[in-house]
Chain A
Amino acid sequence: MAANHEVGAPPGGCHMCLAIPGKIIEIVQDNPNSALVDVVGMRRRVDLGLLEDDKPVPGDWVLIHVGFAMSKISETDAFDQIRTLEMLGESQAAAQEVRGYGLEEIEDQQAP
């Protein structure tokens, strides 16, 4: 459950509207539209399909919305964005969002 929707929890913005910075670690071998990305200290698969015209390479920073890299940004801007999330009280929400990406978590949710 989203943190800001728990009763009494501090507000943390609209999760689907969060732009979360991540650093490309590697492009997935059998799927060039997918990359392993370091996002707020977690490694997750992120979809690169929306950056088709300007494919990022390992080392590049991207802004991620709902599991999709939406734009390439500089490292300085990425750190600025991490600070912005902190200032907005949204870093926890971002971490929770990122933790949710991917198959494993869905399997976790299914577990009783």
Chain B
Amino acid sequence: MKYVDEFRDPELITRAAEEIRRLADPNRHYRLMEVCGGHTHAIYRFGLKDVLPENIELIHGPGCPVCVLPMGRIDDGLSVAQQPDVIFAAFGDMMRVPGTHGSPLEHKARGMDVRIVYSPTDAIKLAKLNPQKYVMFFAIGFETTAPSTALTLQRAKAENLHNFSVFCNHVTIIPAIRAILDSPDMRLDGFIGPGHCSTVIGCRPYEWIAKDENKPIVVCGFEPLDLLQSIVMILKQLQNGEAKVENQYKRVVPWEGNPAALKAMAETFQLRPYFEWRGLGFISQSALQIRDTYAEWDAEQRFEIPGIRVTDPKAAQCGEVLKGVLKPAQCKLFGRECTPENPVGALMVSSEGSCAAYFNYEHRKANLVTSISASV
């Protein structure tokens, strides 16, 4: 394994890897999905594929917020920001995500007032600093970031701040997992459950995966040992014919989640009837919209939103990769037209996207090997 020397407990790593080999039935092919993009990044970074037996295949899931946002929503947000005196505020992660006519960063270069904020409350500060302007915060993320947007909305209302609103793109993880399980071309044996998202929602919302779908799910931390231990826990369940929710990341994730965060979300958001996900299409009740009681701070109610729908470039196969049907390198554009420096699809933009993770670790490594062997 590439980074084995960096690990705190190389012996524990070796032991966990051995246990995985012992537990994995050689006559069976296991397909395990890591739901969270943070896990995808960690798996490539640590070269975990190299320690796992060949019959354990890790499928990269939909848990990268930048990757699943359809291009039309970026276009919608930018169209609001094209109006005079509007400041478009977003996390740095959004800045290079391509819209039809360029990314937020490219719009900034053309004169749009685009600002990076690191916290949604900083967007409030930006509004206070610029009373003659109007600040629209482009909110994005799963349940990990939605509670902070919720509190920000509550603060804006409490302070009666009139030059601020939120363009809400928050999505929820459970319906995405359901959509993947409902997909006919998908066969999975178990899930490595999201870590930080579960800090908010807890472990209960996953119970249906075990009960109704008969699949093990283990909420998992982000160290190599966490990932290997979670795979051990999944394999043990499969060996015993069990399916339950387990929490490997107890040191951070409480079983019940964060009640204050859930309360703030419930007070400010309601479920949208449906929302479009890049690669997965429309999924019912899979995203959050701002409640009517906060209409004044809802950019979708304050502004005319064109409701742009953009189909992904035909040659790009983001959808198949996002569903785990294709591996990143199997996409026709991978590493040629579509690279992290020049992304066509969103999976190449975020370093948690499976294409960028694959490109940065596997593809560059393979190319290096080729060029070294060519030069000797």
Contact = CB atoms under 8 A, between A and B. Distances in A.
B3 A100 contact: no
A9 to B, nearest CB: 9
A36 interface: no
Count class of interface residues, chain B: 35 or more
B344 to A, nearest CB: 16
B124 to A, nearest CB: 10
Given A103-B122, A109-B115, A16 B91 contact: yes
Contact of A50 (B8, B221, B258, B356): B258
Interface stretch (B15-23, B73-81, B140-148): B140-148
Count class of interface residues, chain A: 35 or more
Interface stretch (B48-56, B259-267, B285-293, B314-322): B259-267
A11 B3 CA distance: 16
Interface stretch (B35-43, B240-248, B298-306): B35-43
Given A11-B356, A68-B148, A103-B125, 12 more contacts: A5-B92, A13-B351, A19-B195, A50-B151, A51-B258, A52-B260, A53-B259, A67-B118, A70-B200, A81-B252, A88-B42, A102-B122
A49 B151 contact: yes
21 contacts: A1-B95, A2-B116, A5-B92, A13-B352, A14-B41, A15-B118, A16-B93, A16-B141, A17-B38, A17-B144, A19-B252, A47-B151, A52-B260, A65-B144, A65-B196, A68-B147, A71-B199, A71-B253, A84-B221, A87-B3, A106-B122
A112 interface: no
B48 to A, nearest CB: 12
A78 to B, nearest CB: 10
